[in-house]
Chain A
Amino acid sequence: DIQLTQSPSFLSASVGDRVTITCRASQDISSHLAWYQQKPGKGPTVLIYAASTLQSGVPSRFSGSGSGTEFTLTISSLLPEDYATYFCQQLNDYPRTFGGGTTVDIK
Protein backbone atom coordinates (compact mmCIF):
# COMPACT_ATOMS: atom_id res chain seq x y z
CA ASP A 1 0.00 0.00 0.00
CA ILE A 2 1.07 3.59 -0.61
CA GLN A 3 1.75 5.37 2.66
CA LEU A 4 0.94 9.06 2.99
CA THR A 5 2.73 11.01 5.72
CA GLN A 6 1.15 14.33 6.62
CA SER A 7 2.86 17.03 8.61
CA PRO A 8 2.34 18.61 10.96
CA SER A 9 -0.38 16.58 12.64
CA PHE A 10 -1.46 19.62 14.61
CA LEU A 11 -0.87 23.34 14.22
CA SER A 12 -2.04 26.49 15.95
CA ALA A 13 -2.49 29.55 13.80
CA SER A 14 -4.08 32.97 13.95
CA VAL A 15 -6.64 34.51 11.64
CA GLY A 16 -4.78 35.97 8.69
CA ASP A 17 -1.84 33.56 8.92
CA ARG A 18 -0.50 31.67 5.92
CA VAL A 19 -0.74 27.94 6.62
CA THR A 20 1.09 25.16 4.79
CA ILE A 21 0.47 21.44 5.23
CA THR A 22 2.68 18.78 3.64
CA CYS A 23 1.79 15.31 2.41
CA ARG A 24 4.56 12.89 1.39
CA ALA A 25 3.86 9.67 -0.51
CA SER A 26 5.94 6.51 -0.11
CA GLN A 27 6.12 6.17 -3.90
CA ASP A 28 5.46 8.23 -7.00
CA ILE A 29 1.75 8.99 -7.36
CA SER A 30 2.09 11.52 -10.19
CA SER A 31 -0.57 14.19 -9.51
CA HIS A 32 -3.27 11.83 -8.22
CA LEU A 33 -3.71 13.50 -4.86
CA ALA A 34 -6.71 15.19 -3.27
CA TRP A 35 -7.09 17.36 -0.20
CA TYR A 36 -10.17 17.37 2.03
CA GLN A 37 -11.46 19.49 4.89
CA GLN A 38 -13.46 18.02 7.74
CA LYS A 39 -15.29 19.89 10.49
CA PRO A 40 -16.63 18.22 13.66
CA GLY A 41 -19.78 16.20 13.08
CA LYS A 42 -19.66 16.65 9.32
CA GLY A 43 -18.52 14.57 6.40
CA PRO A 44 -15.35 15.68 4.62
CA THR A 45 -15.49 17.99 1.62
CA VAL A 46 -12.99 18.10 -1.22
CA LEU A 47 -10.86 21.21 -1.58
CA ILE A 48 -8.28 20.25 -4.18
CA TYR A 49 -7.97 17.34 -6.60
CA ALA A 50 -5.32 16.36 -9.14
CA ALA A 51 -2.85 17.93 -6.68
CA SER A 52 -3.58 21.51 -7.70
CA THR A 53 -7.09 21.83 -9.15
CA LEU A 54 -9.46 23.82 -6.99
CA GLN A 55 -12.84 22.12 -6.60
CA SER A 56 -15.75 24.24 -7.81
CA GLY A 57 -17.02 26.55 -5.07
CA VAL A 58 -13.89 26.35 -2.92
CA PRO A 59 -12.40 29.76 -2.02
CA SER A 60 -9.25 30.77 -3.86
CA ARG A 61 -7.29 31.17 -0.59
CA PHE A 62 -6.85 27.40 -0.79
CA SER A 63 -4.21 26.10 -3.17
CA GLY A 64 -2.38 22.86 -3.78
CA SER A 65 0.94 22.06 -5.37
CA GLY A 66 3.34 19.21 -5.95
CA SER A 67 3.72 16.01 -7.90
CA GLY A 68 5.47 12.70 -7.53
CA THR A 69 5.95 12.20 -3.80
CA GLU A 70 5.70 15.63 -2.21
CA PHE A 71 2.59 17.80 -2.03
CA THR A 72 1.46 20.88 -0.15
CA LEU A 73 -1.84 22.47 0.74
CA THR A 74 -1.66 26.19 1.43
CA ILE A 75 -4.23 28.49 2.97
CA SER A 76 -3.06 31.97 2.02
CA SER A 77 -4.88 33.86 4.78
CA LEU A 78 -6.64 31.84 7.45
CA LEU A 79 -10.25 32.69 8.21
CA PRO A 80 -12.25 31.59 11.29
CA GLU A 81 -14.21 29.06 9.22
CA ASP A 82 -10.95 27.33 8.20
CA TYR A 83 -10.37 25.86 11.64
CA ALA A 84 -10.81 22.19 10.82
CA THR A 85 -8.97 18.98 10.10
CA TYR A 86 -7.33 18.52 6.70
CA PHE A 87 -6.19 15.30 5.13
CA CYS A 88 -4.76 14.12 1.86
CA GLN A 89 -5.66 11.05 -0.19
CA GLN A 90 -3.86 9.30 -3.02
CA LEU A 91 -5.95 8.09 -5.95
CA ASN A 92 -3.11 6.64 -8.00
CA ASP A 93 -3.45 3.05 -6.87
CA TYR A 94 -5.52 0.63 -4.83
CA PRO A 95 -6.19 0.47 -2.03
CA ARG A 96 -6.81 4.19 -1.81
CA THR A 97 -5.01 5.57 1.23
CA PHE A 98 -5.20 8.72 3.33
CA GLY A 99 -2.79 10.84 5.28
CA GLY A 100 -3.14 10.94 9.04
CA GLY A 101 -4.68 14.41 9.07
CA THR A 102 -3.71 17.88 10.23
CA THR A 103 -5.85 19.69 12.77
CA VAL A 104 -5.70 23.48 12.48
CA ASP A 105 -6.57 25.12 15.77
CA ILE A 106 -6.96 28.66 16.95
CA LYS A 107 -3.82 30.25 18.37
Chain B
Amino acid sequence: QVQLQESGPGLVKPSETLSLTCTVSGGSVSSGTYYWTWIRQPPGKGLEWIGYIFYGGSTRYNPSLRGRVTISVDKSKNQFSLNLNSVIAADTAMYYCARETYYHRSGSNTLDFWGQGTLVTVSS
Protein backbone atom coordinates (compact mmCIF):
# COMPACT_ATOMS: atom_id res chain seq x y z
CA GLN B 1 0.00 0.00 0.00
CA VAL B 2 1.39 3.37 -1.03
CA GLN B 3 1.59 5.95 1.76
CA LEU B 4 2.49 9.62 1.55
CA GLN B 5 3.55 11.85 4.44
CA GLU B 6 4.02 15.60 4.34
CA SER B 7 6.62 17.33 6.50
CA GLY B 8 7.93 20.83 6.97
CA PRO B 9 7.59 24.00 9.05
CA GLY B 10 4.15 24.86 10.30
CA LEU B 11 4.88 28.59 10.41
CA VAL B 12 6.43 30.73 7.69
CA LYS B 13 6.97 34.48 7.72
CA PRO B 14 5.51 36.70 5.00
CA SER B 15 7.80 37.16 1.96
CA GLU B 16 9.77 34.02 2.84
CA THR B 17 9.73 30.61 1.15
CA LEU B 18 7.42 27.79 2.14
CA SER B 19 9.19 24.43 1.79
CA LEU B 20 7.46 21.08 2.24
CA THR B 21 8.55 17.52 1.58
CA CYS B 22 6.43 14.48 0.80
CA THR B 23 7.94 11.11 1.68
CA VAL B 24 6.58 8.18 -0.29
CA SER B 25 6.56 4.64 1.10
CA GLY B 26 5.28 1.44 -0.43
CA GLY B 27 6.09 2.71 -3.91
CA SER B 28 8.77 4.57 -5.85
CA VAL B 29 8.72 8.12 -7.18
CA SER B 30 10.91 6.82 -10.01
CA SER B 31 8.62 4.13 -11.36
CA GLY B 32 5.42 4.04 -13.28
CA THR B 33 3.46 6.77 -14.96
CA TYR B 34 2.60 8.78 -11.89
CA TYR B 35 2.09 12.49 -11.34
CA TRP B 36 3.35 13.46 -7.88
CA THR B 37 1.03 16.27 -6.90
CA TRP B 38 0.59 19.07 -4.38
CA ILE B 39 -2.82 20.41 -3.39
CA ARG B 40 -3.82 22.93 -0.75
CA GLN B 41 -6.92 23.98 1.14
CA PRO B 42 -7.14 27.33 2.91
CA PRO B 43 -9.16 27.25 6.14
CA GLY B 44 -12.85 27.14 5.36
CA LYS B 45 -12.27 27.12 1.60
CA GLY B 46 -12.09 24.65 -1.24
CA LEU B 47 -9.22 22.64 -2.63
CA GLU B 48 -6.68 24.18 -5.00
CA TRP B 49 -4.42 22.13 -7.25
CA ILE B 50 -0.86 23.47 -7.05
CA GLY B 51 0.95 21.28 -9.56
CA TYR B 52 2.80 18.04 -10.20
CA ILE B 53 6.09 16.53 -11.11
CA PHE B 54 5.95 13.58 -13.47
CA TYR B 55 8.11 10.57 -12.74
CA GLY B 56 10.27 11.52 -15.71
CA GLY B 57 10.93 14.96 -14.18
CA SER B 58 8.62 17.26 -16.12
CA THR B 59 6.46 19.66 -14.13
CA ARG B 60 3.21 21.54 -14.49
CA TYR B 61 1.91 24.29 -12.23
CA ASN B 62 -1.26 26.21 -11.58
CA PRO B 63 -0.97 29.58 -13.37
CA SER B 64 -2.73 31.18 -10.40
CA LEU B 65 0.49 30.87 -8.43
CA ARG B 66 2.21 33.20 -10.88
CA GLY B 67 5.59 31.52 -11.05
CA ARG B 68 6.13 31.33 -7.29
CA VAL B 69 6.06 27.53 -7.15
CA THR B 70 8.65 24.84 -7.80
CA ILE B 71 8.16 21.10 -7.38
CA SER B 72 11.19 18.84 -7.38
CA VAL B 73 11.99 15.19 -6.72
CA ASP B 74 14.75 13.44 -4.78
CA LYS B 75 14.82 9.89 -6.08
CA SER B 76 17.50 8.81 -3.61
CA LYS B 77 15.20 9.64 -0.70
CA ASN B 78 11.96 8.70 -2.49
CA GLN B 79 10.61 12.17 -1.82
CA PHE B 80 9.21 15.09 -3.71
CA SER B 81 9.11 18.67 -2.53
CA LEU B 82 7.21 21.91 -2.83
CA ASN B 83 8.76 25.37 -2.70
CA LEU B 84 6.47 28.40 -2.71
CA ASN B 85 8.26 31.71 -2.51
CA SER B 86 7.20 35.22 -1.52
CA VAL B 87 4.40 33.86 0.64
CA ILE B 88 1.54 35.99 1.92
CA ALA B 89 -1.22 35.38 4.45
CA ALA B 90 -3.44 33.98 1.71
CA ASP B 91 -1.00 31.07 1.36
CA THR B 92 -2.05 29.84 4.80
CA ALA B 93 -3.56 26.43 4.15
CA MET B 94 -3.53 22.70 4.75
CA TYR B 95 -1.09 21.33 2.19
CA TYR B 96 -1.55 17.81 0.82
CA CYS B 97 0.68 15.67 -1.33
CA ALA B 98 -0.93 13.05 -3.51
CA ARG B 99 -0.32 10.66 -6.38
CA GLU B 100 -2.26 11.03 -9.62
CA THR B 101 -2.45 7.83 -11.64
CA TYR B 102 -3.65 7.13 -15.16
CA TYR B 103 -5.93 4.12 -15.27
CA HIS B 104 -5.59 2.58 -18.71
CA ARG B 105 -8.77 0.53 -18.48
CA SER B 106 -10.96 3.60 -18.00
CA GLY B 107 -8.77 6.05 -19.88
CA SER B 108 -8.97 8.44 -16.98
CA ASN B 109 -6.87 9.69 -14.07
CA THR B 110 -7.46 10.04 -10.38
CA LEU B 111 -5.67 11.00 -7.19
CA ASP B 112 -5.50 7.52 -5.75
CA PHE B 113 -3.29 8.16 -2.72
CA TRP B 114 -3.12 11.22 -0.49
CA GLY B 115 -1.16 12.26 2.56
CA GLN B 116 -3.01 13.39 5.65
CA GLY B 117 -1.94 16.99 5.14
CA THR B 118 0.13 19.54 7.00
CA LEU B 119 -1.06 22.96 8.11
CA VAL B 120 1.15 25.88 7.16
CA THR B 121 0.44 29.30 8.61
CA VAL B 122 1.95 32.44 7.11
CA SER B 123 2.40 35.00 9.84
CA SER B 124 5.04 37.27 11.29
Q: Is the CB of A91 within 8 A of B110?
A: yes
Residues of A within 8 A of B110 (CB): 34, 46, 49-50, 55, 89, 91
- Given known pairs A32-B109, A46-B111, A91-B108, the reply for A98 and B49 (CB within 8 Å) is yes
Considering the complex, which residues of chain A in the window 64-107 have a beta carbon less than 8 Å from any beta carbon of chain B? 87, 89, 91, 94-101
Which residues of the partner chain B approach A46 to less than 8 Å between Cβ atoms?
110-112
On whether the beta carbons of A95 and B108 are closer than 8 Å, the reply is no
Q: How far, in angstroms, from A91 to B102 measured CA to CA in the complex?
A: 10
The B contact surface, by secondary structure, is: strand
Q: Give A31-69 as 1s and 0s: 1 = Cβ < 8 Å from B's Cβ atoms.
A: 110101000011111100111010100000000000000
Tell me which of B8-16, B57-65, B81-89 binds A.
B57-65
Structural contact, B96 and A43, CB atoms closer than 8 A = yes
A42-B116, A94-B60 given; A31·B46 CB < 8 A: no
Task: Point out the residues of chain B lying under 8 angstroms from A53, CB to CB.
Answer: 103, 106, 108
SS class of chain A's interface: helix, strand, loop or mixed?
loop
- Cβ–Cβ < 8 Å partners of B49 in chain A: 95-98
Chain A interface size band reads 20 to 34
Give A44 Cβ to nearest chain B Cβ, in Å.
5
The smallest beta-carbon distance between B10 and chain A, in angstroms, is 15
Judge whether A89 and B111 touch: CB under 8 Å.
yes
Interface positions of B from 69 to 123, Cβ below 8 Å from A? 96, 98, 100, 103, 106-112, 114-117
How many angstroms from the CA of A45 to the CA of B49 in the assembled complex? 16
Among all A-B residue pairs, the 9 with the closest Cβ atoms: A49-B110, A50-B106, A43-B114, A50-B108, A96-B49, A98-B47, A95-B62, A91-B109, A34-B110
* B contact set with A: CB distance below 8 Å: 4, 46-49, 51, 60, 62-64, 96, 98, 100, 103, 106-112, 114-117
A contacts, CB < 8 Å to B:
31-32, 34, 36, 41-46, 49-51, 53, 55, 87, 89, 91, 94-101
